[in-house]
Amino acid sequence: MEQQLALFLNLLIDGISTGCLYALIAIGFSLLWWLADIVHLAHGGVIIAAGYAGHVLISRFAAPLWAACGVALVIAVVLGLSIQRGAYQKLRSQGTGEMGMLTASLGVLICMEYGLAIAFGPEGIQLDAGSARTPLLAGSGLVVDAYTVAVIATTAATFIALIVLMRVTQFGKNMRAVAENHDLANVVGIRVNRVVLGASMLASAVGVPAAVVFLYGRGLQPSDAIHIVLTAAIVAIFGGRGSIIGALIAGLFIGVAESVMVWFFDAGWREAITFSLLYVLLLVRPEGLLGKSPR
Amino acid sequence: MDTSALSLSVRGIQKRFRGISVLDGVSFDLQAGTITGLIGANGAGKSTLLNVMTGLLKADAGEVFLRGAAIGAVPTFKRARAGLLRTFQHPRVFPSFSVGKSIDLAGTSAKAERFYATLHSLFARTPARAPAGPTYTFQKALLAKQDVAASSLSYGDRKLLMLAQVLAAQGTVFCFDELFAGLGPSVIDQVRECIVEIANRGNTVVFVEHNLAVVRSLATRVIFLYQGRIYRDGPAEAVLTDPEVVRLYLGD
Amino acid sequence: MEYVLHIATIAGIFAILALALDLLVGYGGMISLAAAVFFGIGAYGSALLTKGGMSPTAAMIAGMAASTAISMLIALPAIRVRGIYLLIVTIAVQVVFTIVLQNWRSVTGGDAGISNIAPYSIFGVPLRGPLFTVFVWVSCVAWWGILLWVVRSPFGQVLQALRDDEIGAVSLGKDVVTTKLVAFAVSSAVSAFAGALYAHYSTYVDPHTFNITVSIAVLLMVMLGGAGTLSGAVLGAIVLTLLPEVLKFLPLPPGAAAPLRQLTYGALLVVVVFLRPQGLLGRGATPTPGG
């Protein structure tokens, strides 16, 4: 295959892989924001904690992947729930305003990040995907391995599951009702608090595949926490909060855009491009590309 | 028609919320020195109309004119500076301000609020602006509480504070949204007197009100809004005794 | 003694920075994580211009002007967007700023930064040691006084009214646009002043001194001391400058000090919001911005 084309396609594939990851980290954040106006900055910390949990099980206890995922899931859900109940709901009932909620969320994120750094050291963790990294289409010049396929498959499965949950299940319908109008949902008998707690469990759960992808991919370090949740926020804003499809499309778009940027710009500037794009978006259309217009 | 006396006009205002037409082609003219009552059942679009007139909402179609000039694209604060002021159905206060400071805030000129004025005052003494003396009992009562936190005022007092603020801000077109709800009878009389005085000075008043006795005693003209459209627009007595109006308004 | 002077100088510089942020966050109700951007513009500005031959005072003023101009990048969106959206705008600007500092090597020296910055001097007389510390604190008190005057002025009243109830303020004719722009301009200029002082004091600037971690620390100083009080900002700066020094005396495993300090910051943020949202010096009765 022609050299330049192969390079471009590889960037594209890398972008799609990254984009899937972005979509996974964003959807949990986006759902909570849409549902209850909660800016769950600590989501980044939850994902990293899940990653560390999985890592400990695999590297220190030689547990199989499915077991590690299970434990990571439990830990993520417990963390997410505790933060929801112990922090957000408590503060809301105290009458804390938006700035207080943001500050508290930021505080929890920082605690998690540095707590993990103290417990495990700041260097970060990574797992070797081993044979999953063998290029599948050897000789074509395209870098596609089982890992990439797994990432895309996991993302697809997660999103399909989410869409089904949203459309078909009672819980999904309840979520939509609560997002639409808290008070009205209360009146029709929906336990709003329960739904929000359920959503935060869901948000944490969806973060686990993301953590696994990170582990076997670029690795995780505690200092990634802010970066992760920031990316989640960007994707959520781009895709419109609460929109599952939006998160997927936005995640892929940003992942591919970042990757392809390397074609034109020095790698160091990549992030600057993304953030500049975000800045322009917020100026022009703060509700995101797929969100509903405010006025 | 003498257009110079037209202080506020709206033409063909349309506004939809989620597919429901809240305002559907509303048009009327207000003359300086008049008091117009705006009545209608809940959800008829009265507050929405006020929001469109003052610029807090953008109409889907139609235009608002202030003294003949189209102000659809003018931001709310500029409309207010041009004299278009309003009070709110649910009383608003500035929680960290005292009563006195709230009124001072309303009465300060745009010029004095510029940052340049602040810098200038660092170096030169500007003569103290003589505050306009209180005319009405309710204003005197508020001044007696001038160091009280605005957030600790009762519902009725908050409404009076809103009124005092728009008076201090020297408007020319006043829009009151359910001002009389929650006020005691003696206060209602004062406020009525105050509004009559505002109009006598050549200003324009339009007020949304559910208390029809007050409307009858105050308004010279009444507009009846029904399902987003003007159903009747005429002399107060005629509209208020119109059997159709009574049926639609009270029947809802 | 030198150690005490060092702490005092750093505390003073951050007090000025916190005062600047309090104007925006406490009095303007606009949350920002970009304090380090303007701090950095002032610092790098002074570094580059004094190396180019300008006098420190002129360089400082130039840095303040540049800072004001760049602050419009946040101020203009701040008119329309608020809450989390504004926060993300400030984060975006902060992150891009750090990236620019790291990658625009020809100007900023990249990760290596700029070193050998001369000490601050007035009319050619260098201010070193205790003299500089005094200068820092005199400046701090001066800015404190100026900002106090600003928040008590009609302009300041409008700023606070917009914070309390923007719709109400705007309906009374208050100019939301100009007020917000000016608030950002003043805040960023004062931050740049602090940055200039810092550059001359440490004689060395690099991107890591002006990243989001620093912005978070300054926000914490304001929240901890009490947003919207000015004196709270100064107190918060003093407390948070002393805190890491206190931690140094604790028997900790090596390498744990830095993350522990950050962990404490995070914990403090949460504790403040839970127990005393108005901060140490804030008034209990009145709600905090946004509360």
Q: What is the 3-state secondary structure (H, E, C) of chain B?
A: CCHHHEEEEEEEEEEEECCEEEEEEEEEEEECCCEEEEECCCCCCHHHHHHHHHCCCCCCEEEEEECCEECCCCCHHHHHHCCEEECCCCCCCCCCCEHHHHHHHHHCCCCCCCHHHHHHHHHCCCCCCCCCCCCCHHHHHHHHCCCCEHHHCCHHHHHHHHHHHHHHCCCCEEEEECCCCCCCHHHHHHHHHHHHHHHHCCCEEEEECCCHHHHHHHCCEEEEEECCEEEEEEEHHHHHHCHHHHHHHHHC
Angle, to 10 degrees, between the axis of helix A98-120 and the axis of helix C257-275?
Answer: 150
Q: Is residue C289 predicted with pLDDT exceeding 90?
A: no
Provide the β-strand partners of residue B175: B86, B206
* Stretch A115-136: mean pLDDT: 82
Look at residue C124 in the predicted model and tell me its pLDDT.
80
Cα separations (Å) of C71 from A116, A232, A240, B249, C90? 35, 26, 27, 54, 10
Look at residue A6 in the predicted model and tell me its pLDDT.
81
Q: Is residue A163 classed as helix, strand or coil in its secondary structure?
A: helix
Look at residue C129 in the predicted model and tell me its pLDDT.
87
The model's pLDDT over A270-285, given as tens digits with 9 standing for 90+, comes to: 778 778 878 888 888 7
Cα-Cα-Cα-Cα dihedral sign, residues C11, C14, C16, C19: negative
- Decide if C66 contacts C49 (C-beta within 8 A): no
Which residue has 């905090």 as its token pair?
C288
* Stretch C204-220: mean pLDDT: 92
The model's pLDDT over B175-225, given as tens digits with 9 standing for 90+, comes to: 999 999 888 888 899 899 999 999 999 999 999 998 899 999 999 999 999
- Decide if A159 contacts A23 (C-beta within 8 A): yes
Q: Is residue B3 predicted with pLDDT exceeding 70?
A: no
What band does B1 get if pLDDT is binned at 50, 70 and 90?
Answer: very low
Provide the β-strand partners of residue B38: B208, B223
The model's pLDDT over C108-150, given as tens digits with 9 standing for 90+, comes to: 888 889 988 888 888 888 888 899 999 999 999 999 999 999 9
Taking alpha carbons only, the member of B44, B75, A58, B223 closest to residue C170 is B75
Cβ contact, residue pair A106, C216, below 8 Å: yes
Which residues of C lie closer than 8 Å to B, measured between beta carbons?
146, 149-150, 153-158, 160-161, 164-165, 167-179, 182, 186, 228, 285-287
- Distance from C-alpha of B36 to C-alpha of A174, rounded to nearest angstrom: 46
* Stretch A245-260: mean pLDDT: 90
Cβ contact, residue pair B94, C155, below 8 Å: no
Q: Computed over its alpha carbons, how large is the radius of gyration of chain B? A: 19
Q: Which residues on C lie below 8 Å from A102 (Cβ)?
A: 31, 83-84, 87
Q: What is the mean pLDDT of chain C?
A: 89
Q: Which residues on C lie below 8 Å from B94 (Cβ)?
A: 160-161, 164-165, 168-169
Of A40-44, A68-72, A186-190, where does mean pLDDT reach its minimum?
Answer: A186-190
- Distance from C-alpha of B84 to C-alpha of B61, rounded to nearest angstrom: 20
Q: Is residue C9 predicted with pLDDT exceeding 50?
A: yes
Percent of chain B with pLDDT over 90: 62
Tokens of C289: 């911005």
Q: Is residue C269 predicted with pLDDT exceeding 70?
A: yes
Look at residue C286 in the predicted model and tell me its pLDDT.
45
What band does B129 get if pLDDT is binned at 50, 70 and 90?
Answer: low
* Stretch C69-77: mean pLDDT: 91
- Distance from C-alpha of C85 to C-alpha of B23, rounded to nearest angstrom: 31
- Distance from C-alpha of C177 to C-alpha of B81, rounded to nearest angstrom: 14
What band does A94 get if pLDDT is binned at 50, 70 and 90?
Answer: confident
A95, A99, A103, A109: CA torsion to nearest 10: 90
Look at residue B130 in the predicted model and tell me its pLDDT.
60
Interface probe, candidates C263, C264, C265, chain A, greatest A C-beta count within 10 A: C263
* Stretch A250-269: mean pLDDT: 82
Of A205-214, C76-85, C161-170, C254-263, where does mean pLDDT reach its minimum?
Answer: C254-263
Provide the β-strand partners of residue B173: B84, B204
Burial letters C153-190, b for 16+ CB under 10 A, else e: bbbbbbbbbbbbbbebbbbbbbbbbbbbbbbbbbbbbb
Look at residue C280 in the predicted model and tell me its pLDDT.
83
Sorted by where each begins, the domain ranges of chain C are 2-275
Which CATH architecture does the domain made up of C2-275 adopt?
Orthogonal Bundle (1.10)
- Decide if A242 contacts A35 (C-beta within 8 A): yes
Cα A246 to the center of its chain, rounded Å: 13
* B111 φ, ψ (degrees, to nearest 5): -65, -45
Taking alpha carbons only, the member of A24, A18, A8 closest to residue A255 is A18
Could you tell me the domains of chain A?
A: 10-123+146-284 (1.10.3470)
Which residue has 């696994």 as its token pair?
A212
Cα-Cα-Cα-Cα dihedral sign, residues A39, A42, C36, C25: positive
Q: Which residues on C lie below 8 Å from B95 (Cβ)?
A: 164-165, 286-287
Which pairing describes strands C114-115 and C204-205: parallel, antiparallel, or unpaired? antiparallel
By the CB < 8 Å criterion, does B170 face chain C? no
- Decide if A291 contacts A243 (C-beta within 8 A): yes
Q: Is residue C282 predicted with pLDDT exceeding 90?
A: no
First to last CA, chain A: 51
Q: Is residue A95 predicted with pLDDT exceeding 90?
A: no
Please name the residue ranges forming H helices in C203-256: 212-225, 231-248
Provide the β-strand partners of residue C250: none
What band does C38 get if pLDDT is binned at 50, 70 and 90?
Answer: very high
Which pairing describes strands B221-226 and B229-235: parallel, antiparallel, or unpaired? antiparallel
Q: Which residues on B lie below 8 Å from C175 (Cβ)?
A: 77, 81, 110, 113
State the pTM of this model: 0.88
Cα C44 to the center of its chain, rounded Å: 15
What band does B128 get if pLDDT is binned at 50, 70 and 90?
Answer: low
Q: Is residue C260 predicted with pLDDT exceeding 60?
A: yes
Which residue has better confidence, B140 or C140? C140
ipTM of the complex: 0.90
Look at residue C283 in the predicted model and tell me its pLDDT.
72
* B84 φ, ψ (degrees, to nearest 5): -90, 105
By the CB < 8 Å criterion, does B90 face chain C? no
- Decide if C97 contacts C37 (C-beta within 8 A): yes
- Distance from C-alpha of C266 to C-alpha of C262, rounded to nearest angstrom: 6
Q: Which residues on A lie below 8 Å from C207 (Cβ)?
A: none
Cα-Cα-Cα-Cα dihedral sign, residues C103, C109, C110, C113: negative
Residue type, C179: T
Cα separations (Å) of A290 from A39, A158, A285, A287, C253? 19, 20, 10, 8, 50
A vs C, Cβ pairs < 8 A, gives 136
The beta-carbon neighbor of C291 closest among A96, A276, A282 is A96
The beta-carbon neighbor of C158 closest among B76, B93, B113 is B113
What band does C288 get if pLDDT is binned at 50, 70 and 90?
Answer: very low
Q: Is residue C271 predicted with pLDDT exceeding 50?
A: yes
- Distance from C-alpha of B60 to C-alpha of B199, rounded to nearest angstrom: 31
Tokens of A285: 């259309």
Q: Is residue C218 predicted with pLDDT exceeding 80?
A: yes
What band does B173 get if pLDDT is binned at 50, 70 and 90?
Answer: very high
The model's pLDDT over A53-67, given as tens digits with 9 standing for 90+, comes to: 999 998 888 888 889
Tokens of B210: 């559910």
Look at residue A59 in the predicted model and tell me its pLDDT.
87
Taking alpha carbons only, the member of A208, B95, B122, A8 closest to residue C291 is B95
Neighbours of chain A (3+ CB pairs under 8 A): C
Q: What is the mean pLDDT of chain A?
A: 86
Which residues contact residue C93 at a Cβ distance below 8 angstroms, ignoring those fewer than 6 apart?
A: A279, C34, C37, C73, C74
Taking alpha carbons only, the member of C163, C160, C159 closest to residue C181 is C159
- Distance from C-alpha of B252 to C-alpha of B226, rounded to nearest angstrom: 10
Cβ contact, residue pair C289, A114, below 8 Å: no
- Distance from C-alpha of A79 to C-alpha of A164, rounded to nearest angstrom: 25
- Distance from C-alpha of A42 to C-alpha of A51, rounded to nearest angstrom: 14
The model's pLDDT over C184-193, given as tens digits with 9 standing for 90+, comes to: 999 999 999 9
Cβ contact, residue pair C171, B149, below 8 Å: no
Angle value at C-alpha A286, between A231 and C212, nearest 5 degrees: 40
What band does B4 get if pLDDT is binned at 50, 70 and 90?
Answer: low
By the CB < 8 Å criterion, does B108 face chain C? yes
What band does A289 get if pLDDT is binned at 50, 70 and 90?
Answer: low
Q: Is residue C121 classed as helix, strand or coil in its secondary structure?
A: strand
- Distance from C-alpha of A66 to C-alpha of A79, rounded to nearest angstrom: 20
Cα-Cα-Cα-Cα dihedral sign, residues C71, C74, C80, C81: negative
The model's pLDDT over A191-242, given as tens digits with 9 standing for 90+, comes to: 888 899 999 999 999 999 999 999 888 889 998 898 898 889 889 988 888 8
By the CB < 8 Å criterion, does B107 face chain C? no
Residue type, B57: L
* Stretch B128-146: mean pLDDT: 77
**What residues of chain B, 211 to 250, have a C-beta less than 8 Å from chain C?**
none
Q: Which helix (H) or strand (E) holds A191?
A: none
Q: Which residues on C lie below 8 Å from B85 (Cβ)?
A: 171-173
The model's pLDDT over B32-74, given as tens digits with 9 standing for 90+, comes to: 999 999 999 887 789 999 999 999 999 999 999 999 899 999 9
Q: Is residue A125 classed as helix, strand or coil in its secondary structure?
A: strand
Q: Which residues on C lie below 8 Å from B86 (Cβ)?
A: 171
Cβ contact, residue pair A111, C263, below 8 Å: yes
Cβ contact, residue pair C99, A268, below 8 Å: yes
Of A71-80, C38-47, C48-57, C245-254, where does mean pLDDT reach its minimum?
Answer: C245-254
Which pairing describes strands B69-70 and B61-66: parallel, antiparallel, or unpaired? antiparallel
The beta-carbon neighbor of B97 closest among C155, C161, C182 is C161
Q: Is residue A258 predicted with pLDDT exceeding 70?
A: yes
Look at residue A53 in the predicted model and tell me its pLDDT.
92
